[in-house]
Structure 1
Amino acid sequence: MSTPADHEPSKKPLKMPAVPRPSASVLLLSPTNQILLLHRVKKASSFASAHVFPGGALSKTHDGEIPDVDDPGRHQDGPAYRMAAVRETFEECGILLAKSKKTGKLFTEISDAEREQGRRDVHSGKVKFAELLQNWGAVPDTESLIPFTRWVTPPNVPKRFSTQMYIYFLPLGSLSPTKHAAPKAAPPSGATEEEEDAPDLVIPNPTHDGGIEHTAARFLPPHKWISLARQNRIILFPPQFILTHLLAPFLAPTITSPASPTPPLSTLQAEREALLTFLSKPRVYAGEAEVSFAEACISPLVLGKTQYGDVLPDTRRQGLDKGTAVLMLDRPGKEVEAQGLGRRGLKEWVVTTRFAREGPRDVAVWRREELLGSGGKEGKEKL
């Protein structure tokens, strides 16, 4: 059983750090640009009681060859990571990120009963994931996964992972797996009214795994998840918080309640394009070129806690409770640094949080200069 202590940095370095276990996670975006989070059970093997993205550890049985510990591909995007991302998403929420061999579109050509049985069979090891897809006439849509940072658990934490994060956009115009109806908009150029009214795809609603690891699966706008976390109504660990936070300004900003009207397709597409521009645009911080979001490799480093003295200047710790940890995001971790590949993290931001008994609380993202007073122009407020 996992506890919050399994993810809280120890005050003293561990004698023998655990080897980071390769894993993959997906930031799954609905047809209305909302993001899926799963609520972990209290007895989950990791991130107990937290809200997380679909994902999990790589499997040789299902995902193919996993790079060895000393292999340069161990902490790089690769085929096994992508296959694991598709498989774990299917196992954990029932949505299959695969394309039909017949149509080339997202595969939805099975009944709910077939999908759930396949999901159970893969999870139990009764059938290999690739064989299941072959039997169904589907191929994993690994090419549509967009790399969005890698996270390596620090060495002074008992349970460690090297997690490749991805973004995946479910098709616009399909029936959204939320309470919102399919988007109503002017038909694309050349499309008929009938084509507009009849979605090409009906995507199944996400479901939890029956309480094995999750008790709920739900799409919400990124800004709503961040609001719930800021109120401490849900637990988001720093990686989930900052990545959701980065999406919030771009995706579903006008959806504030279930009654909010769904934006037209043109608006939803514009939201996605704006996000992709943000992710792909060369980044500069304090006059220096920054690593891209696709290549960023982050192993959070605890700079200090506010009660430990002059870690933070008095004028910049206002509003931070005693015991608040400051996490730096600019280092890739010792295992990655040892490979000599020049991987880097994100220098522009830092994260603050309190590690409470139930998990991280009061998580917030700050501009680096806002707390540390260097590396750029003075900031004035939390992000």
Structure 2
Amino acid sequence: MSEAQTTAPSPVPPRPAATVLLLRDGAAGPEIFMVVRHREIEFAAGALVFPGGRVEQADAELATILGSTDPLAAFRVAAIREAFEESGLLLARTEGGTALDPAQGAAFVAAHRDALNAGSRGFAAMLQAEGLRPDIDSLVPFAHWVTPADLSKRFDTHFFLAPAPSGHDAVHDGHEAVDSIWITPAQALAEAEAGERTLLFPTRLNLLRLAGAESLGDAMSRAAARPVVTVQPVMEIDAEGRKMLRIPVEAGYGGPLFPAGIRAMVPQVRKAGTP
């Protein structure tokens, strides 16, 4: 065989991405804002997910303007932008450090969200026009997942926790996300177990980690105290022939091996006519 025939192809470089878990206190404990992805989009079609997406060059540029020395600053900006695009919740403050009240948040959504989602207006320009700064310090690092090396579409995703702005309305965008819900982690997991929801592997495990928190404050405190360990699942076949995903036990998900099910961050492709 020639070298070209025997050499395995190099893994596709993962795209930087950011996801934000927006939390609020509810009667049964902390609730998280989640959206249902459109069934015809390329990635995670039909799945219940947290708001998030790719880190853009403009996110890195805005992070530089903010003067942050945090190596995750661009990811934080991207998470805040994606949260606004997908939920209408804006994690931002005035130049004087004042948080937006619900009326100000609603006015910003009405004035700018459609233009941002249409690509006719940039996030940094919108914030500057309103005298606002993204509240990157409100985000607490929660997890770091990298798509398995053997997949053709890969992401290097940082997950953050953030308190949802109190009293502000959260509404899905109607394009990439066709539905949305405030839901406890336990309820989301139960509905997925019953076949009523589709959860990707990292979504399910991050919900499991959140399920033990008693309140928004408890969830934030736990995340702040736990070091983030990078997770890049590796497929294995166990002694009984089952496909399993191995992740670092130090990541805090309760074990190193999990049934593969829906693999980590894989675009879900449905045949025409299937639900």
Judge same fold: TM > 0.5, yes or no: yes
Give distance in 1, aligned partners of 2:8 and 2:203: 25
The TM-score with structure 1 as length reference comes to: 0.59
Point out where structure 1 has 5 or more consecutive residues left out of the alignment: 1-12, 67-72, 175-201, 252-270, 282-291, 309-323, 332-343, 361-383
In the TM superposition, what whole-angstrom CA distance separates every residue of 1:46-100 from its partner, at most 9, and x where no partner exists?
A: 111111100000111344289xxxxxx9xx9511101000001001111111123
Deviation at 1:113, TM superposition (A): 6.1
Same amino acid, percent of matched pairs: 27
Aligned match of 1:214 in 158, 169, 177? 177
Q: Which residue of 2 aligns with 1:15?
A: 9
8 Å Cα contact 2:23/2:216 also seen in 1 = no
Partners in 1 of 2:34 and 2:8 — Cα distance?
Answer: 32
1:277 to partner: Cα distance:
4.5
Work out which of the two has the higher radius of gyration on C-alpha atoms and give 1 or 2: 1
Alignment of 1:73-84 (within 5 A): 77-84=71-78
The question of whether the paired residues in 1 share the 8 Å contact of 2:140 and 2:220 is answered with no
Question: How far 1:31 sits from its partner (Å)?
Answer: 4.2
Tell me, in whole angstroms, the C-alpha distance in 2 between the residues paired with 1:121 and 1:110: 17
Aligned residue for 1:47? 44
> CA shift at 1:137, angstroms?
2.3
Matches within 5 A, 1:53-64: 53-64=50-61
Report the count of equivalent residues: 253
1:121-143 CA-to-partner distances (Å, cap 9, x unmatched) read 12222222111012122211100
Distance (Å, rounded) in 1 between the aligned partners of 2:59 and 2:111:
17
Shift of 1:101: 3.6
Q: Is the CA contact (8 Å cut-off) linking 2:35 and 2:180 kept in structure 1?
A: yes
State the Cα deviation string for residues 309-362 of structure 1 (Å, max 9, x = none): xxxxxxxxxxxxxxx53211119xxxxxxxxxxxx74585232242499959xx
Distance 2:240 2:234 in 1: 17
Higher relative contact order (CA 8 A, sep 6+): 2
**CA distance 1:83–1:305, shift in 2 (3 Å):** same
- Tell me if structure 1 keeps the 8 A contact 2:201–2:261: no
- 2:147–2:233 contact (8 Å) kept in structure 1: yes
Match of residue 352 from structure 1: 259
- Residue 302 of structure 1 is matched in structure 2 by 235
- Change beyond 3 A, Cα 1:16–1:238: same
Tell me the SS of whatever aligns to 2:104: coil
In structure 2, the residue matched to 1:135 is 129
- Normalising by structure 2, we get a TM-score of 0.80
Question: Could you tell me which residue of structure 2 aligns to residue 159 of structure 1?
Answer: 153
Q: Whole-Å Cα distance in 2 between the matches of residues 346 and 244 of structure 1?
A: 12
- Mapped contact 1:238–1:351 kept (Cα < 8 A): no
Q: What is the match of residue 228 of structure 1?
A: 191
Structure 1 residue aligned with 2:81? 87
The two structures, once aligned, show a CA RMSD in angstroms of 3.1
